[in-house]
Amino acid sequence: MRHLVSARITAATARRVLTQLRGDRRTVALMLIVPSLLLVLTNQMFDSRPVFDRVALLLLGIFPFTTMFLITSVAMLRERTSGTLERLLTTPMSKLDLLLGYGIAFALAAAAQAAVTCGAAYWLLNLDTPGNPWLVVGIAIISAVVGMALGLLSSAFATSEFQAVQFMPAVVMPQILLGGLFVPREQMAGWLHTVSDALPLTYVIEALGEVGRTSLVTNKLLRDTGIMIGVAIVALALAASTLRRRTGPLARSARRALLVIPVIVLLVSGVLAADYLLQARRYVWTDNAQIDGDKIPILAPVSGTLIGWHATQGSTLRKDQNIGRIEIRNSFGLPQKVIRAPADGTVALDNGIEGAHVTAGTQLAVTYDLSAIYVTARIDETAIRDVHLGQQVDITTDAYPDITLTGYVGEIQGSSAGVLSTAPQDNTTGRFQKLTQWIPVKIAIAEPKNLTLVPGMNVTVKIHRN
């Protein structure tokens, strides 16, 4: 009875693949040199350091995915066309031995590629990320393994190396376009965002985005990494089930099984497209929205020393409540001025420091009346014509995704958000660039359903068209 997997045979397979890779100088150049050269070219394209840091970081995950997909799909097809695969599978080697050997070999090759490319990015091009560079190397290796697994799976559908290369635009390019490299996924149409959720490269880009955002190993980073590993395992299992000894037409049963995949893709795409068209006809939709409220600042009434301060963050205040005092220096008898809450509210920001000297007008705290919160949604200028006062709005928050709140449009701001920003765009220069503008719309919440809603929470709104 043939064994399931042999460590000795798997290791021998990995050595054989690595030996073949080492003997192909063009493949070695494609893996180790070309990505670094492309990063240098990218560095010359961008004058802005933050833009280069973002794009280069994402490319460190895209390069290994793309190169390993191409190399493995062609290599496996070459094994089949040369008769090597047929000879190997007549030995005690199992399909799992073969695929694991390929996986180990290309994971090691990916580690070399990631080390060289990341070294060039961080030390030669001064790439700067909050997260640890070793996290980037690890994600790049996982990305390469995912690309390798999809390459092995795609090779089952090809009968020539030319056909294997043709899978590049069909499998890889949509993932690059929809993964968030060129346009943030949050700005995509709803159905494109949904499609991108099903693409493995999306999670490579999202994981690298987390490394570029924070130095912490967040739950989102762990989730994205887990999804990538899961995709690689599923793709390898499908590759094992479709692995053939020689080229030529697939068996009828295999063709029927493989036909299920595009049929499912077409059905899902059709359902998503129909749902998107329905939603677009019925609603004006955006997730560029947050819980908001009227900010109530608490200011120092006079200059002096702050004492007896107890308007701490999260505390609830009542109008005219005594929340501290200011001791007035350089005055006979050191009189004290009482600080009172200007209105009912909950403290969202506490700047007060006991014993600190403050000047008149200093902002000591910021409060919000949580009983009078609302939603501020930024609507694309091309859709604002369909938004009118009094329209019903369905509101869902990221904190409570299963609960839908009801609201209505209460106010449409008379100018775009860009006009009121601290650094509005200057269109008088010769470098004018037309940008889509967003119109802030105030949405009143009819019934908060006793949910804990605070300013800054992300929400999604669907405004019913009339």
Residue 319: pLDDT band (50, 70, 90) is very high
Tens digit of pLDDT for each residue in 248-288? 555 566 556 555 655 665 665 566 566 666 767 788 888 88
How far apart CA 164 and CA 77 sit, in angstroms, is 8
In a domain, 255, yes or no: no
Identify the H or E element spanning 464: strand 458-464
Domain match, 47 and 183 both? yes
pLDDT at 111 exceeding the cut of 90: no
For residues 156 and 239, the answer to whether their CB atoms sit within 8 Å is yes
Q: In what order do the strands lie in the sheet with 295-299?
A: 295-299, 363-368, 345-350, 316-317
Domain match, 21 and 55 both? yes
pLDDT at 388: 92
pLDDT at 6 exceeding the cut of 70: yes
Partnered with residue 345 across adjacent β-strands are 317
Q: How confident is the prediction for the chain on average, in pLDDT? A: 81
pLDDT at 1: 43
Count, in order, helices (H) and strands (E) of the chain. 13, 14
Domain match, 81 and 187 both? yes
Domain match, 223 and 77 both? yes
pLDDT at 403 exceeding the cut of 80: yes
Domain match, 195 and 217 both? yes
pLDDT at 366 exceeding the cut of 90: yes
Is the sign of the CA dihedral 422, 428, 432, 437 positive or negative? positive
In a domain, 280, yes or no: no
Going by C-alpha positions, the residue among 105, 111, 116 that lies closest to residue 39 is 116
67, exposed or middle or buried, with CB in 10 Å at 0-12, 13-18, 19+? buried
Tens digit of pLDDT for each residue in 247-258? 455 556 655 655
- Residue 35: how many CB atoms within 10 A of its CB? 25
Domain match, 102 and 156 both? yes
% of the chain residues with pLDDT over 90: 23
Residue 237: pLDDT band (50, 70, 90) is confident
> What is the domain-level CATH number for residue 399?
2.40.30.170
Domain that holds residue 83: 7-248
Q: Considering 191, 220, 248, which residue would you say is the last residue of a domain?
A: 248
For residues 147 and 102, the answer to whether their CB atoms sit within 8 Å is no
In a domain, 332, yes or no: yes
pLDDT at 196: 83
Is the sign of the CA dihedral 41, 42, 43, 48 positive or negative? positive
Domain count, the chain: 3
Maximum mean pLDDT: which of 105-109, 214-218, 456-460: 456-460
Amino acid code (one letter) for 364: L
- Residue 415: how many CB atoms within 10 A of its CB? 10
How far apart CA 118 and CA 36 sit, in angstroms, is 8
In a domain, 352, yes or no: yes
Sequence-ordered list of residues with C-beta below 8 angstroms from that of 288, at least 6 positions apart, any chain: 186, 377, 378, 438
Q: Output the pTM of the full model.
A: 0.57
Longest dimension (CA), the chain: 103
Radius of gyration, alpha carbons of the chain: 29
In a domain, 176, yes or no: yes
